Amino acid sequence: MMLADILTIILLLGGAFFFLAGTIGLLRFPDVYTRLHALTKADNVGLGLIVTGLAIQAQSWAAAGKLILIWLLVLLAGAGVSYLIANGALARGVAFWKR
Amino acid sequence: MEAVGLWQSAFDLMLGFSLFGLAWRMLFCADLFKSIVLFITFGLLMAIAWVRLEAPDVALAEATIGAGLTGALLMSAFAKLRTLDNSLKSGQPLLPRPRLHVINFWIALLFTVLLTGGLAYAVLSLPSHSPGLSDAVMSQLDSSGVTHPVTAVLLNFRGYDTLLEMAVLLLSIQSVWSMAGMSDAGEVHTSPVLNVLIQLLSPVLILVSAYLLWVGAHAPGGAFQAGSILGAAGVLLVLSGRPLFNLKKSWLIRLMLVAGPAAFIALATLTLINEGQLLKYPVANAANYILLLETLATVSIGTTLLALFVGSQTEAVQQDQSHQ
Amino acid sequence: MSMLFFYALIGVGLFTLGLLALVVQPHLLQKILALNVMGSGVFLLLVALGGRSQPVVDVVPQAMVITGIVVAVSATAMALTLMLNLSRSSPGAQLPEDQSADS
């Protein structure tokens, strides 16, 4: 029981770290493409860690399955939508960032 | 436990001030597009606030309707506005400062500050504990036919409100339809990624909608959340350029729009005759009545929200066709 | 317990902030957003004050707010259609009195 709690805490903190990193990337990166890159990658991993941490605490297998389903849906939507945003930006001629 | 409470208080403070700050930025920002994006963010934070206030049903409704569908409506209206207004196209900060006279602005600000003070005083002078109607709801829950109190209130104790709400929805789609809209604003962007995404998501959305409808009897969920997810699935299909059936002329659509209100009115009449009181279900059948009403209401709410989204978009084109 | 009153006060703040924006901002889309924020403020106030009936939360305000959210979205859809109609006849999506203040 104790071990599960410690594992959950570690996973949640790890997830929060990835969210923080993704958000800093969103705020600090120079153009749409790099921001999307930071946001989707970091947030997908971060949510994965948080979902795993919560699934350990879940009361039943069904609840854990629902949590993992949420993660898969977010992965799907995140990947699709970030592609669409980047594609839209490209179609409108949003310039790439150059140093 | 003390430490947990402190963290929660800190979180509440941060959430509350973020809500206020977001609203401030949203309403007093010169870029309309940015305002709309901030509005969607505001809706999502509101959903978290509802969870903190122990109102998960409201959180579900806020996330799907307040942030999702309202956001889609605002975005599509903004896109159409941009085709009309050249100043919105160039992407520069588009709004002039408030055109009110400076003195008028300060009068408005003074009035608002006074009003805020008065309202805050009124709120703080309320007793810190008030049972409200919770005892009444809990004591009658057994005879309502469901075990989730919010669903019991919406569909049984205050079914009258929901009946009128279905009427409001019907009225709104009628008025949107009766106002001549404008032709379709822009080209539909399709891409293989979007197609696959929608092929995967649409069935899941419909499944989630049915799940929320079913689970509403004993857990957070219900007709409104289910209906709005159904509407969102439709919006997704329309946005991806799927040739959905003609949303105005189809009698099927019209039937789906009125199914909910019609079922409510029919049941209200039936109970008025049998029980002598509007929407007073016999205890034995209450669960069945509620499920029936909720199912039809879900269909109607979903169709209405989709029709509201599509409403003005294709209206003008369809009218032209019908006149020919 | 005091957090409920904090959320209620945030609700009051959102309501009056929305009211100010509704009065001073000229663009109709901003006015529609302002009305939505006012609505959110009222909802927040209702649910927060409904939470005072501890230990069991009063669900009647919650049910009212769910109804209110659906009504708000249908009203917003109608208002947006009206705005688009208006901006087709006169550009700028503003009310006549705001435009005359300009000249």
What would the DSSP string read from start to end of C25-60? --BHHHHHHHHHHHHHHHHHHHHHHHTTSTTSPP-H
Max mean pLDDT among A45-49, B123-127, B145-149 falls in: A45-49
> What is the reported pLDDT for B89?
56
Task: Encode pLDDT of C79-92 as tens digits.
Answer: 998 888 888 777 66
Q: Taking Cα atoms as reference points, which of C80, C77, C97, C76 lies closest to residue C24? A: C97
Task: Encode pLDDT of B71-121 as tens digits.
Answer: 999 988 888 888 777 666 555 445 555 455 678 888 889 999 999 999 999
Give the start-to-end residue ranges of the domains of chain B: 1-95, 132-324
> What is the reported pLDDT for B247?
57
pLDDT band with cut points at 50, 70 and 90 for residue A32: confident
Task: Encode pLDDT of B194-222 as tens digits.
Answer: 888 888 888 999 999 999 998 888 888 88
Q: Which ipTM score applies to this complex?
A: 0.91
CA distance C43 to C72: 11
> What is the reported pLDDT for B318?
40
Contacts of residue C26 in chain B, CB cutoff 8 Å? 95-96, 98-100
Considering only CB atoms, A80 lies closest to which of B189, B194, B204, namely B194
Through-space distance between the first and last CA atoms of chain A, rounded to whole angstroms: 52
Task: Determine whether the interchain pair B197/A76 forms a contact, defined as Cβ–Cβ distance below 8 Å.
Answer: yes
Task: Encode pLDDT of C40-63 as tens digits.
Answer: 999 999 999 888 887 778 888 899
Task: Determine whether the interchain pair C29/B77 forms a contact, defined as Cβ–Cβ distance below 8 Å.
Answer: yes
Regarding chains A and C, contact by 3 or more CB pairs under 8 A is answered as no
> What is the reported pLDDT for C89?
76
Contacts of residue B201 in chain A, CB cutoff 8 Å? 73, 76-77
More confident residue, B304 or B1: B304
> What is the reported pLDDT for B317?
41
Regarding chains A and B, contact by 3 or more CB pairs under 8 A is answered as yes
Query: Is this structure's pTM higher than 0.90?
Result: no
List chains adjacent to chain A, taking adjacency as at least 3 C-beta pairs closer than 8 Å. B
Give the start-to-end residue ranges of the domains of chain C: 2-98
> Which fold would CATH assign to domain C2-98?
Helix Hairpins (1.10.287)
Predicted confidence (pLDDT) at residue C28 exceeds the cutoff of 80:
yes
Task: Encode pLDDT of B37-68 as tens digits.
Answer: 999 999 999 999 999 998 999 999 999 988 88
C24 vs chain B: nearest CA distance in angstroms? 6
pLDDT band with cut points at 50, 70 and 90 for residue B16: very high
Considering only CB atoms, C101 lies closest to which of B74, B100, B224, namely B100
